[in-house]
């Protein structure tokens, strides 16, 4: 695995991991073609391309595909941090709120700017037997058309150390 670390940049490794995880565990992730655009301690940006398979009857991205992207931005970053922990931690989303503002008529980028808060939450979960939760925000944009959000999401992530 160390040869892969040297060969591919972190963003590409995480995209590959996300696709393989999707293929094995959550096939919809693989099907919609989620990829990592940016990965830093502060933020995670993932992209879902607008394709025939995730378009609605109006030619924009189907709201289900938008919800997948909103789930993946904080979820993939959390799993990235969990994989670095010496203990096993389970992750679930407790609730989900969406506000759809405009039609997404291009490739959509989903941005979660709460990387440091997620890292703190993972550290709390690793150090405690208690379940820890935090609400996270995700903004969806279509950079090829505008920087204005097409949707806003709020998700509560819940972590617990496994025995």
- pLDDT for 137 beyond 60: yes
CA distances from 14 to 56, 76, 96, 126 (A): 28, 9, 24, 22
8 falls within a domain: no
121: CATH: 3.10.129.10
Taking the model in full, what pTM does it have?
Answer: 0.89
Give the residue-averaged pLDDT of 112-136: 97
Cβ-proximal residues to 20 (8 Å cutoff; 6+ apart), any chain: none
Number of domains in the chain: 1
Q: What is the pLDDT of residue 21?
A: 76
CB 110 within 8 A of CB 73: yes
**What single DSSP character describes residue 62?**
P
89 falls within a domain: yes
């Amino acid at each position: 695995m160390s040869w892969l670390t040297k060969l591919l940049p972190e963003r590409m490794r995480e995209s590959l991991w996300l696709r393989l995880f999707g293929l094995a565990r959550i096939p919809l992730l693989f099907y919609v073609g989620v990829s990592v655009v940016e990965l830093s301690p502060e933020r995670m940006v993932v992209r879902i391309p607008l394709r025939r398979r995730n378009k609605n009857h109006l030619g924009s991205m189907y709201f289900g595909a938008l919800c997948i992207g909103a789930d993946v931005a904080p979820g993939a970053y959390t799993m990235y941090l969990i994989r670095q922990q010496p203990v096993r931690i389970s992750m679930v989303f407790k609730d989900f709120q969406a506000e759809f503002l405009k039609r997404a008529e291009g490739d959509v980028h989903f941005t979660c700017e709460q990387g440091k808060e997620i890292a703190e939450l993972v550290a709390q979960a690793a150090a405690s037997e208690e379940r820890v939760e935090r609400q996270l925000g995700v903004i969806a944009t279509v950079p090829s058309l505008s920087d204005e959000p097409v949707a806003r999401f709020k998700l509560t992530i819940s972590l617990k150390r496994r025995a």
